[in-house]
Amino acid sequence: MRALVVEDDPDVGPDIVRGLQSAGLVADLVRNGEEAWFKGDVEDYDVAVVDLGLPRLDGLSVIKKWRANERNFPILILSARGDWSEKVEGIESGADDYLAKPFQMAELITRVRALIRRSSGHSAPVLNVGSLRIDTRRMAASLAGMPVSLSQLEFRLLNYLAHQRGRAVPAGELAEHLYGASEADDSNAIEQLVARLRRKIGAERIETRRGFGYVLTDS
């Protein structure tokens, strides 16, 4: 999963990035509204965490521009101000959730995970694909009740495919959401990662659809 963090505070922004990375996400940090608007408009993200008090372009304007351009990834607003009218304005501008500063990192991570799940049509933190069980909170998986030992990258691949269940996901998209935009063309690394995951959960559970990508099935 890939997150865009929009925060100009030199301490808070990097802390959020580290927190999201510890939760298995790839996180990009930008520190002003103009850059945030551009990156969110041209790159593919699963979620954005946006501070409202930004230089160059305020957070609400960034959100409005994204939504006007039909950028539909979920958005969590951060703000040092907890006024109810600001929360209403943020939600009406197109945000999906609101978290006032100061906040606990565990709460931010929980909310981000929930937004990603809901945007993919899932309500529970545990995803079931046939006999395969994926716990997004613990970053753990089990098969027919038995734990499956996965590296962080293997889990992130499995988790992304589960959130895109039923859709063929191209290797380039997987690379972008697992490694970041700089590695988006590394299809060989994705092939190797898929092969390792297949050995652990069963080759038949990840189909290759030639010309389209990979699909997680409930075989």
- Computed over every residue of the chain, the mean pLDDT equals 92
CATH 3.40.50.2300 positions along the chain are 2-119
Spans of the chain below 50 pLDDT: none
pLDDT at 123 (0 to 100): 79
pLDDT at 166 (0 to 100): 84
pLDDT at 186 (0 to 100): 64
Tell me the per-residue pLDDT of 78-91, one tens digit each, with 9 for 90 and over. Answer: 988 667 777 888 88
| DSSP one-letter string for 116-174 | HHHHTT--SSEEEETTEEEETTTTEEEETTEEE---HHHHHHHHHHHHTTTSPBPHHHH
Phi, psi of 130 (to 5 degrees): 60, -130
What pTM value is reported for the model? 0.86
pLDDT at 82 (0 to 100): 64
Fold entry, domain 126-216: Arc Repressor Mutant, subunit A (1.10.10)
Tell me the per-residue pLDDT of 11-59, one tens digit each, with 9 for 90 and over. Answer: 999 999 999 999 999 999 999 999 999 999 999 999 999 999 999 999 9
pLDDT at 87 (0 to 100): 81
**What is the distance between the alpha carbons of residues 180 and 1, in angstroms, rounded to a whole number?**
9
Check whether the bond before 102 is cis (ω within 30° of 0). yes
**Angle at CA 77, nearest 5°, toward 30 and 47?**
65
* 95 closest CA partner among 80, 115, 110, 113: 115
CATH 1.10.10.10 positions along the chain are 126-216
Best CATH choice for the domain 2-119 from the list 3.40.50.2300, 3.40.718.10, 3.40.50.300, 3.30.70.1230: 3.40.50.2300
